[in-house]
Amino acid sequence: MKIPWQTVGVAAIATVIGGGLGLYAGHNRALGNEVVFISVGQGDCTLITSEGHAALIDVGPKTNSSDAGTNIIVPDLKKWGVNHLDWILLSHPDRDHVGGLVGVHRAFPSAKIIMSAVFQTNRKMLKEFKSARVKSSAIDWVTSMDGNLGVFKIEVRCPPYDPSTNDNLGCMFVHIHDGGASLTTSGDAPKADERAMIGVLNWKAQILHLGHHGSRHSTSRAWLRAVQPQIAIASCGLHNEYGFPTKVVMKKLQDAGIELRRTDKDGDLFYKDVNHKFVRESGP
């Protein structure tokens, strides 16, 4: 049996990963080798699909008045022919990233959840898992992982974290590539984490998912030099109260000649892997 994930320096627990995955190969119909930045309002949700496999990085926000998991992500995935998720990677416990878990887990209960081991005792996160009725056996707590999702190599690295600080500081970093088409994401990680992660991996990527929705506390010039993106994505809500993406980050992108796309204005952003390069398309 093919085991797609191989753990590298895993801190805890996750030794049996992706078991039975082959059963579901080819189950998803419509999308090819793609990444989709789903327009979920003020929050994050990125879909990766390849050769019948699919994974999400974050599951969108939930507020008192809206639930992106139930109302946006699940209907969109079904509409696009995604009937099975192999993995749900969660960057960190904030509600704009994990709030949609109840709806997404209900619709895709067999998806393995991957999260940084630094949040293993995070009360906020454990409460989210409880509300979503996620069994502990469904979660792999990791410090780093290397795996494959169809044609894509997925590399996860998690910075160390002091629980007395803001949990943005423990955000998971993910690098996805097929040798050419490539994407780097970092949740809401601030500049200190970007600094800590430079050199840990080759983060060079065609597309950079901007840290913290384009906050001025992320996307340092050093991080831009490390990633060298051609395209930057800001996942943010229309007229969001934080002013994301911020002018200071937009200026840095402009200075470096990096194209900015944003989910609040562009809607869902589909990038198809064409000859080892991500090319924007209108969607299925």
**Residues of this chain that bind Zn ion (CB under 5 A):** 96, 188
Of residues 96 and 155, the one with the C-beta less far from Zn ion: 96
H-run or E-run covering 6: strand 5-7
Of residues 99 and 147, the one with the C-beta less far from Zn ion: 99
For residue 185, which amino acid is it? Answer: T
Q: What is the CA radius of gyration of the chain?
A: 17
Give the other-Cβ count within 10 Å of 214's Cβ.
26
Least distance from Zn ion to the Cβ atom of residue 243, Å? 14
CA–CA distance, 28 with 183 (Å, rounded to integer): 22
Are 99 and 68 a contacting pair, CB within 8 Å?
yes
Least distance from Zn ion to the Cβ atom of residue 32, Å? 29
Are 218 and 192 a contacting pair, CB within 8 Å?
no
CA–CA distance, 100 with 130 (Å, rounded to integer): 13
Least distance from Zn ion to the Cβ atom of residue 133, Å? 24
Of residues 10 and 56, the one with the C-beta less far from Zn ion: 56
Least distance from Zn ion to the Cβ atom of residue 187, Å? 7
Of residues 86 and 188, the one with the C-beta less far from Zn ion: 188
